[in-house]
Structure 1
Amino acid sequence: MFKNMSQKKKDIVEEMGFDALAHVPEMKVSHALLRELIDCYDEYHGFLKTLRGKIYITPAKVVAALGISHGGDHFPKKVDYCKLNEEDKAIFDSLKCVTLVTLTKFILNMSVEGEENRQKFHKSFVIFIQKCFLLQTMVSIASAIHKPPIFCVDNIRQRDWACHVLRFLRKGIENKRKGKKQSVEGCVFVLMLIYFHETKFPHLDGLDAPPTPWVAYWTKNMIVDRISIEGTDTMVMC
Structure 2
Amino acid sequence: MGKKKLVETRCSPCYINNLFTHLERHNEQGKLAEIEAIGFDFLRRVPQWHVKQSIMLQLARAYEVETDTLRVDAGDIHITAELIGNVFGIPSRGEPIPELQKKDESHLAIKRQFQKKTTTQLQDFLFACPMETEQQRMTFRRYFIMVVLKMFLNPTSQQTIFPWHLPPILDVSNPRRFHWPYHILHWLREAIRKFQDENRETCGGCMFVLLVLYFHLLKHGPLHACRVPEPWIVEWTTNELDMKADYVIS
TM-score for both structures, normalised by structure 1 = 0.89
Contact 1:60 1:70 (C-alpha < 8 Å) held by counterparts: yes
Q: Which region of structure 1 is more displaced relative to structure 2, 209-218 or 129-138?
A: 209-218
Contact 1:65 1:215 (C-alpha < 8 Å) held by counterparts: yes
User: 2-side partners of 1:98 and 1:68: how far apart?
Assistant: 29
Instruction: State the match for 1:23 in structure 2.
Output: 45
Instruction: State the match for 1:74 in structure 2.
Output: 96
Instruction: State the match for 1:194 in structure 2.
Output: 213
Out of 28, 40, 62, which is 1:40 matched to?
62
Query: Aligned with 2:203: secondary structure?
Result: coil
The answer to whether structure 1 residue 144 and structure 2 residue 166 are counterparts is no
Instruction: State the match for 1:55 in structure 2.
Output: 77
Change (3 A) 1:225 1:10: same
The answer to whether structure 1 residue 224 and structure 2 residue 246 are counterparts is no
User: 1-side partners of 2:167 and 2:219: how far apart?
Assistant: 37
Contact 1:127 1:150 (C-alpha < 8 Å) held by counterparts: yes
Contact 2:69 2:79 (C-alpha < 8 Å) held by counterparts: yes
What is the alpha-carbon root mean square deviation over aligned residues?
A: 1.9
User: 1-side partners of 2:228 and 2:75: how far apart?
Assistant: 22
Return 5+ residue gaps in structure 1 as ranges. Answer: 233-238
Q: Partner amino acid for 2:97?
A: F
Contact 2:184 2:205 (C-alpha < 8 Å) held by counterparts: yes
User: 2-side partners of 1:204 and 1:186: how far apart?
Assistant: 21
Contact 2:111 2:163 (C-alpha < 8 Å) held by counterparts: no
Instruction: State the match for 1:185 in structure 2.
Output: 204
The answer to whether structure 1 residue 97 and structure 2 residue 100 are counterparts is no
Q: Which region of structure 1 is more displaced relative to structure 2, 63-72 or 30-39?
A: 63-72
Instruction: State the match for 2:3 in structure 1.
Output: none
Deviation at 1:205, TM superposition (A): 7.9
Query: Aligned with 2:170: secondary structure?
Result: helix
TM-score for both structures, normalised by structure 2 = 0.85
Instruction: State the match for 1:173 in structure 2.
Output: 192
Instruction: State the match for 2:7 in structure 1.
Output: none
User: 2-side partners of 1:119 and 1:59: how far apart?
Assistant: 27
Alignment of 1:124-163 (within 5 A): 124-163=143-182
Deviation at 1:206, TM superposition (A): 7.0
Alignment identity in percent? 29
Return 5+ residue gaps in structure 2 as ranges. Answer: 1-18
Query: Aligned with 2:76: secondary structure?
Result: strand
Change (3 A) 1:216 1:50: same
Could you give the per-residue CA deviations for residues 182-213 of structure 1, whole angstroms, max 9, x where no partner exists? 32111111110111112212265879x54211
Q: Partner amino acid for 2:112?
A: D
